[in-house]
Amino acid sequence: MNKFYTTTAIDYVNGAPHIGHAYEKILTDVIYRHFTQRCQDTYFLTGTDEHGIKIQKTAAEKGITPQEFCDINAQKFIDAWKALDIDYSQFIRTTDKQHEEIVQKIFKKLVEKGDIYKHAYKGLYCSGCEAFLSEKDLTEDGLCPNHMRKPEIVEEENYFFKLTKYKDAIIKHIKTNPDFIVPSFRANEVINQLENIEDISVSRVKSNVSWGIPVLEDSQQVIYVWIDALSNYITALGYNPDGESSVEFNKYWPAEVQVIGKDILKFHSIYWIAILMALDLPLPKHILAHGWITIDQTKMSKSLGNVISPTSVLEAFNLDIPDPFRYYMASAAPCGKDGNYSDEDFKEKVNAHLANSMGNLLNRTLSMLVKYFEGDIRPEFLEENELKAQALETVKAVKHHFDYFEVQEAAQKIIELVDTANKYVTDNAPWSLAKDGQIEKCGKVLTNVLQVMTVIASLIYPYCPNIAGAMAEQLGYDINTKLDDITCESLKAGHLIDKENIKPVFLRMDSELADKKK
């Protein structure tokens, strides 16, 4: 793999970031960091969606301009992703000048090509979805299924995109590329939606929606969300519909995977794909539709008051690093399925996996190395054994799961290796070997475990970059080692560590020591 380009959905800035937004960004960041360990050239795009009627109305209610409102809320997302160590390459805002100018050119090109045309229209519009809905999209009571309220009847003359023109081509692409939509069980859902697809409105009358990108050569219309928001994945890279695109665009597009929520799969697997086809651009290789995160098994809702800010979790548990939350969220659900967050499960899982199993394994093994061998690895301690062979098999298994974006499943494999290493220590009881005078055998056991810990540090790094870095520092291991270059022979004979440099990489969250204020 020469390069890896991944994107998230861009978040609508009408509200603050919540745990659902965080799940997508963490999931994508873990995927991005893993593939950064496998290839030389990677790029990760995220950002915010900042146009539309909801922002226009909310800003007016607050007595500020839409741009001021967007600036305030976009910063909330930037701050949240910084707190969660989301290592994106670029944060795009749809109010960025470059984005707006390229979107206008894209729109104009599609008009000139005949794929966008003007048409008088009367339809059901949901302001929550910022989308026109058909009767079949609604519940039996005539409500939007996502927002549970009646859409308003809107009558306008707008520009429409010829989505129906690309219907057969999209169906063919999905059927001939069974791994295009991940998980694959969502493909039939998309094909069913395509059966009755209609052309879509891609502009709004400026007198109704003024906060948007103006249509070139038609001052009475603003470009609607689909051409605007969806195009960010290529405008960010410097795509130029009128001539030569940027070096970055030619290098990174098409995306290897675009990560989105299952509720917007239709827009990305149908609308976005049709737009790319109309522009004669290559299609993304995969679209990963993740599930939702519930809170204590209940769907998040402002009316229920169970919307959780991701940074509030860090604050509630006095976490100096976001790694525990990152690990928990990234392993919250099987690929494409829904997951759940609860405070109690969070604490129990993180304590069990990161503190008790992984952190304690490193701490006690290093402590025994210092106690029995003054922190030295002797040449006779270096050997081949089944534990190290299993570690290398785990590397293969983790890579295989990430090839299918099975992030939770990969995490399970890593923890299985941690558990195996713990069992190896228990079964071989190096403390008993030392007591019985079997010094060389004791040293071999400890060294074997520490060699495997270097592998574990690399594998857990995408989930827990700070903890993995602390592990690698105590092991004298280069955490930037590429996965293809991993061996179980990283530690060489010589002095490894002194007693004063052995520190817990992660303390239990219910430990008094975990709260520095006590």
DSSP track, 449-518: HHHHHHHHHHHHTTT-HHHHHHHHHHHT--TT--GGG--S--S-SEE---GGG---SS--TTSGGG-TT-
| Any domain includes 281 | no
Domain that holds residue 506: 342-514
Q: Is the dihedral of CA 424, 428, 431, 437 positive or negative?
A: negative
pLDDT-based confidence at residue 207 (cuts at 50, 70, 90): very high
| Any domain includes 368 | yes
| Amino acid 148: pLDDT | 83
| Any domain includes 466 | yes
**pLDDT over threshold 80, residue 143:** yes
Instruction: Examine the residue annotation and report whether 435 is marked as an active-site residue of this protein.
Output: no
Burial classification of residue 426, based on how many CB atoms lie within 10 Å of its CB (0-12 exposed, 13-18 middle, 19 or more buried):
exposed
Instruction: Examine the residue annotation and report whether 442 is marked as an active-site residue of this protein.
Output: no
Q: Which of 34, 51, 129, 444 is catalytic?
A: 129
| Any domain includes 79 | no
Rounded CA separation 354/361 (Å): 10
| Amino acid 65: pLDDT | 98
Q: Which of 147, 175, 495, 503 is catalytic?
A: 147
Instruction: Examine the residue annotation and report whether 144 is marked as an active-site residue of this protein.
Output: yes
**Residue 31 · residue 407 · CB < 8 Å:** yes
Q: Is the dihedral of CA 359, 361, 367, 373 positive or negative?
A: negative
| Any domain includes 470 | yes
- Number of structural domains (the chain) is 1
Q: Which of 25, 34, 70, 126 is catalytic?
A: 126
**Residue 74 · residue 13 · CB < 8 Å:** yes
Strands 41-49 and 90-93: what pairing?
parallel
Rounded CA separation 88/46 (Å): 7
Instruction: Examine the residue annotation and report whether 70 is marked as an active-site residue of this protein.
Output: no
| Any domain includes 215 | no
Average pLDDT estimate for 109-123 = 93
Instruction: Examine the residue annotation and report whether 21 is marked as an active-site residue of this protein.
Output: yes
Which residue would you say has higher pLDDT here, 54 or 513? Answer: 54
Q: How far is CA 417 from CA 78, 238, 411, 486, in A?
A: 35, 43, 10, 15
Q: What is the pLDDT of residues 424-454, one digit of tens each?
A: 999 999 999 999 999 999 999 999 999 999 9
Average pLDDT estimate for 315-343 = 95
**pLDDT over threshold 80, residue 511:** no
Instruction: Examine the residue annotation and report whether 299 is marked as an active-site residue of this protein.
Output: yes
* CA angle (287 as vertex; 285, 289 as ends), nearest 5: 160
Nearest to residue 167, comparing CAs of 145, 150, 190, 188? 190
**pLDDT over threshold 50, residue 101:** yes
Average pLDDT estimate for 389-401 = 98
Q: Which of 70, 144, 464, 488 is catalytic?
A: 144
| Amino acid 518: pLDDT | 38
| Minimum mean pLDDT range among 11-15, 135-139, 454-458, 498-502 | 135-139
Q: What is the pLDDT of residues 79-94, one digit of tens each?
A: 999 999 999 999 999 9
User: What is the value of pTM for the model shown?
Assistant: 0.94
Q: Which of 302, 516, 517, 518 is catalytic?
A: 302
Tokens representing 396? 């293969």
CATH value at residue 495: 1.10.730.10
Rounded CA separation 200/267 (Å): 11
**pLDDT over threshold 60, residue 515:** no
Q: What is the pLDDT of residues 250-306, one digit of tens each?
A: 999 999 999 999 999 999 999 999 999 999 999 999 999 999 999 988 887 766 667
Concatenated DSSP letters of 120-142: EEEEEEETTTTEEE-GGGS-TTS
| Any domain includes 71 | no
**pLDDT over threshold 90, residue 36:** yes
Task: Tell me the HSE value of 478 on the side-chain side, using a 13 A CA sphere.
Answer: 10
Q: Which of 299, 435, 492, 495 is catalytic?
A: 299
| Any domain includes 90 | no
